[in-house]
Chain A
């Protein structure tokens, strides 16, 4: 096996500039750089159509899915319409265990599905922050595809109790008024509580 001078490794690891190398070291550096450059050519192939066809393919027939929907637990949505101001925007929230037989990702034994639904007319963005996002915004974005003011999102969470709040337009934190259970956040407000159950049961 060729011996590579430690200085060459340091240059390749970005620790020192290349101009500190002598001629022999530069030769080694050039050979490896040329090799990496040749290998960096991108292939012309694409698997996009093949992959998308696979992920779009429903794993079972409509009859089977209907049977599951009729016989198993699923999310329930309750509407809430506030009248006093958008600052206390109405929200709906439903947290439920739904069947794991759909075309979506596989759910682990110790995981369940939480569905968030809220009514925020005029909002430009709504997301959910909570103990499951380390209270960081942007990880769980809700969507309002038909622009009716109802924002929805579904996420997979570990089984157990989680605290959460809605964030409207990236700055307005809103407690879910219909969560049913709350906990003091230590800053004078209340976080909503949700309980996620395993779908494996």
Chain B
């Protein structure tokens, strides 16, 4: 059974107009996304800034109320849950935030930040157990008890992210949404945090939804990758395959922008024209067609569905032929030839 199954999730934000104006337009930040995450699996979610990946990550754990769709977590639809019922479920899914500086309350000590999660869900009612648990959590993330009495501002960015991870781990979640957890950190520290996340996954069997714009990082940590563009998933598949042979023109352009450590590399850089279109008025047809280097006339009118092109690989592009279609074509050509 899947740990998480998202069905046709939409998050539309109203655009306010004027002081008393009613919102008539909507930002379609997430526009019909479906995905699944298995227990203990890491799924990477990539895309440019503004494509809706952070919104999707937050909507999955109900930090943002979804407009439509289902969020089935451990067999239960949590999309419409509210209040105390939802808060009780929060134990099972946690989040690690992008900004390790801002996401810790500056007036609480590190021990209290981690302890608060335990207190809210009444996990360690005895004071001794609480202390032991905080100590163990700090140790898990490479810190120690002597640092529990200190305040967040006394730590470096990487250490703060470790505190954020310890806080998320405190309630023993099954899923952690990692929202660009390393993009605010130095490259050397990034590797440490990524390794820590992987170690913790092996130890505790936690699933990650790893949101990032850095494809290299995502490829390294993820089993599967989802590529998002303008609120939709345009390509999905196993991390290695998507990164080595991308099918969607957008994924190809994204990958061509990843620097390669090889001075002789003759790889062609695909430059995208223009900016990401406004999610208030997304283009008709394929959302990528205004910037697509290989767009055809029908891309302007027909929206390509996300189709399975190979077993386990999904692409939303008219120009990408599925394996069976290719076979059929080859077969037709063969039979026509004399």
Same assembly: no
Binding site for B on A (CB under 8 A): none
Binding site for A on B (CB under 8 A): none
